Structure 1
Amino acid sequence: MSSIKDVAAKANVSIKTVSRVLSGFAGVSSKTKEKVESAMQELEFYPSAAAQSLRGRDKGIVCLITEKLTTTPDSFDIIAGIQSECEKQGKLLMIGESGGSDESFSRLVDDFRRQRAEAIIFATVYRRQVKIKQSFKKCPLILVNCFEANLSHPTILPNDYLGAYQITDELIAKKHRKIAYLTLFEDMPATQLRLDGYRKAHEAANLDVDRGLIQVGVCRDSEDEFSNLPEVLRTLLSRQEPPTAICCGNDKMAMRVYMLIRKLGFQIPESISIVGYDNYKLIAENLLPKLTTVSLPYFSMGQRAAQLAINKQQVTTPEIIEISGELVLRDSHGYATS
């Protein structure tokens, strides 16, 4: 790598003059500045970020720690949202993967602090509780898609409750009165919030919730997390009053339900409506019929996190910011059949 000494020799000026150009000193003539900048370009010289920081120049670095987010298609929009805002504000985004390891998280925090990051964003693949051990008094920490037991940092979460309420309300508006709900794992925070939204939509329409229509649609005892779905669906559809619509915990589950429902002789949505959650476009837009679902507002969540990271005065008081997804109406649901 070229050094400041090499640049000075190439431009035929002193090291002090090169240093003045790098620090934006006004006392350097335009001709000399052009010579120095030309030498830097030819030598592919870039000033040390650490040295610039010591001169008091803001590097504008925002850092992101993720858990396999870069390789998870339906969560990648968080990164896209952060990057979009950083580009608008002229900030550099640095990304590190912790892989869920506390040790890796701690190492990345230390590395990013050495880079004098303006703020650090921590984003998880799915909504879950985390425990932050480090202090972030000087360099703010913003949590995305995760939360602490005791609120200590700004936290950005999807509004899972509202999403489930909206999609259930849509089915009720289509005259469905027996709506099954196939949940994700019961210990996932999003599961309870979505169930609350499902129940509240029934309550708002003065409808009772049939607890027998709420079933866990996933299992941990098999390599195939949906291996219990065939039996669950057979049980639901053999009821004296079977459901006319099924809410699935996510779009991946809905894709499996599509296949199983058709094997049982049902048509979608003519004889039964199916809806999902996540708006995983690779699935939702390619199923036949296209899947009605609720989007996870990951892009907007990423944008908001970047805004907080860049405008540090906004993070003085920790708060939870919930961002609503969008109800995406497609063709997999219709009016209830008798």
Structure 2
Amino acid sequence: MARKATSQDVANRAGVSRSAVSFVLNGRADGNIAKDKQLRILAAAKELNYTPNAVARSLQAQRTHTIGVVTDTIAGGPFAGELLQGASSAAFDAGYLLLVIETQNQEARENSAFTMLLDRQVDALVFAAESMRPHTPHPAMHGVPAVLANCFDPEGGLRSVMADEVAGGRSATQILLDSRHINIAYLSGPLDAVAAQRRTEGFDTAIAASGRPPIKAVETGWDINDGYAAAMRLFSDDGGHSPKHDRPTGVVCANDRVALGVMLACARLGLRVPEDLSIVGYDNHDPLAKTTVPGLTTVAIPHREMGEKAVEILLGELSNGIRKESSGTVLIPCPVVMRGSVAAPPLR
């Protein structure tokens, strides 16, 4: 294997000192190195295919160009894993690398993770949660630039990046209102979950703004069988054999899995989607939402954008060179994804 070129090789080729090479390749040549020498150094570096040693440059700048990311269970999940993809992409584009450790929701592993990352002198830290929830930041996060992603500090002491679930719940409901539905049902998910609470707030806000009386949420779980069971109670007669005449014409679901359960109940009862019932999901779960028949109209959780924004905040602080404690929450919009599961209500 050919030996990798060194800065001394570049200096020899250009006929300059090694320190001159360092000035040019580290962007400090103007005012220090004559223009003709700069051009010779750049040409020599290109001819030798020379790239500066990243470790040496990091030591000079007192930076490692790494960001430590601690997660609960995200790394092993394909859905919320998009958050890590967004963070990694934003970091890579800026010349940074992510060091990711999954704790599997174990406190001891979390403590060890932060210790190991600080031992490796990461420039900044992120804690990312799979599901929106409160999270008390590890003390290590108060010693370097840090941000929470998809979770929030209940004491408000550390900034966070989260999906705007209230606006998302409002958007999901507005889809049915804009399609002229009046008899609407809402399957909320478990109301002790932060995301469910915020989506419900959005649902209530949209209904109130339409001038209609409040609609009580039907509390469900997050899974297909929960949606199926709730739909059978709402849409069928007592025996579960035929649909009720006064059933809702549209339903907003806690997530896409619940929406799939509602679709299965419709198939059991002989109801067509969207001709007899319009369905709105939540999550834009890939591939579930786009492979149902018809495709599921839903609201997407911006996991990738949350990861990108978390890293963007940290890079901004690192580029300024100013360490500052910062609180508050950045809310990322939840976009609507229109497919085929919503239509105008049927005539009765």
TM-score by length of 2: 0.79
2:226–2:258 CA contact under 8 A, matched in 1: no
2:231 matches 1:233: yes
1:86 to 68, 83, 91: 91
Gaps spanning 5+ residues in structure 1: where?
1-6, 8-16, 219-224
The answer to whether 1:215 aligns with 2:219 is: yes
Q: Distance in 2 between matches of 1:64 and 1:284?
A: 29
Which of 62, 67, 83 does residue 62 from structure 1 map onto?
67
Structure 1 residues 207, 315: closer, same or farther in 2, change over 3 A?
farther
TM-fit CA distance, 1:18? 9.8
Change beyond 3 A, Cα 1:48–1:81: closer
1:194 equivalent in structure 2: 199
Describe the superposition over 1:100-125 as per-residue Cα deviations: whole angstroms up to 9, x where unpaired.
11211111111111221111111111
CA contact (8 A) 1:22 1:47 kept: no
- Residue 344 of structure 2 corresponds to residue 335 of structure 1: yes
Which of 149, 152, 155 is the matching residue for 2:154? 149
Distance 2:137 2:66 in 1: 21
Alignment partner of 1:170 out of 155, 168, 175: 175
Residue 324 of structure 1 corresponds to 333
Going from structure 1 to structure 2, the CA distance change for 1:69 and 1:228 (only over 3 Å counts) comes to closer
How far is the alpha carbon of 1:137 from its aligned partner?
Answer: 3.7
Pick from 109, 113, 135: which aligns with 1:108?
113
SS at match of 1:80: helix
SS of the residue 2:291 aligns to:
coil
Matches within 5 A, 1:1-338: 49=55, 54-211=59-216, 214-218=218-222, 225-237=223-235, 238=237, 241-312=246-317, 313=322, 316-337=325-346, 338=348
8 Å contact kept, 1:217–1:232: no
CA distance in structure 1 between the partners assigned to 2:102 and 2:259 by the alignment? 30
State how far apart, in whole Å, the 2-side matches of 1:63 and 1:52 are: 19
Whether the aligned pair in 1 keeps the contact of 2:281 and 2:296 (CA below 8 Å) is yes
Q: How many residues align?
A: 315
Q: 1:10 matched to which residue of 2?
A: none
Paired residues of 1:118 and 1:309 also in contact (CA < 8 A): no
CA distance in 2, matches of 1:47, 1:98: 32
Does the aligned pair in 2 maintain the 1:236–1:242 contact within 8 Å? yes
Q: Deviations over 1:262-292 (max 9, x none)?
A: 1111000000011100111301111111110
CA RMSD in angstroms comes to 3.3
| Aligned 8 A contact 1:175 1:336 in 2 | yes
Tell me the SS of whatever aligns to 1:241. coil
SS in 1 for 2:219: strand
In 2, are the aligned partners of 1:62 and 1:91 still within 8 Å (CA)? yes
What amino acid is aligned across from residue 132 of structure 2 in structure 1? R
1:200 and 1:327 map into 2 onto residues whose CA distance is 17
